Amino acid sequence: MGELSGKRALVTGASRGVGFGIAKAFAAAGAEVVATARNAAALENLQREIAAAGGRVAIVPGDLSTREGAREVARRSGEIDVLVNNAALVTGAQHSLLAEDDAAWDLEFAVNLTAPVTLIQALVPGMAQRGAGVVINISSIAVQRPNPMHAAYAASKAALETITRAAAIDLAPRGVRLNAVALGMTATEAWDDLLPKGFTLEEMGRRVAPIGRATTVAEVAALCLYLAGDAAAAITGTVLTIDGGATAGVYTPG
């Protein structure tokens, strides 16, 4: 029996990167996965991979940039035991807060903050009624070390961490745990548009992380799997950082 046997887990932003890896890890642990993202073709690829490995997955293409879209994803997902709010957006444009575009600011907050809150509001009451449930909100070390050119992203993730703590206190007596996982540089294609010109992911990993490399998707998925399972029953209302030591203190690469 897997660690998540008998559980249904909704993973947002599951079409690629971290969400793709979490969905596969949860399915391998016995969960029935519900995977959502905008890219239906990529979700179908995930479905084929999980099915080939003997896992169970349902795909729910959807757009989390509006409350209505998030509510529709929740409605189509059905009863959920584990919610992983992974979908996030950071605009490729880098500019000062003073030059922030209204539409870009609103979109980042809609996807990074409003969508997770909407899914929590829609799905957690059922968890609380059953007396058990887990929410994992994927955050970022940008909360601790914000890039001044991506203020909206950092601010939205900071708000998500606060929501995580507040809701954890509220829901702990009802058997629902909420935690956040703050990612550092993680080896995914999402970094393609964010790396400084001329730098590779491997080089940046050596420069920013004391372990000398970027975190892998498998490592993030393993942490989320632990938080979703019974072994983490006493862990709620916290933010666990997985960044290779990048935020531990001053680091000068050798």
| CA-closest candidate to residue 2, choices 223, 229, 227 | 229
Catalytic member of 7, 153, 197, 226: 153
* CB-based burial label for 142 (10 Å; 0-12, 13-18, 19+): buried
Strands 133-140 and 176-183: parallel
The secondary structure of residue 65, as a DSSP letter, is T
Q: What is the dihedral of CA 182, 186, 9, 158, to 10 degrees?
A: 30
**Angle 150-152-155 from CA coordinates, rounded to 5°:** 110
Q: Which entry of 7, 157, 197, 251 is annotated as an active-site residue?
A: 157
Structure tokens at 172: 């702990």
> Side by side, which strands form the sheet with 32-36?
56-59, 32-36, 8-12, 82-85, 133-140, 176-183, 239-242
CA–CA separation, 161 and 238 (whole Å): 8
CB atoms within 10 A of CB 249: 7
Q: Is 157 a catalytic residue?
A: yes
Q: Catalytic site residues? A: 153, 157
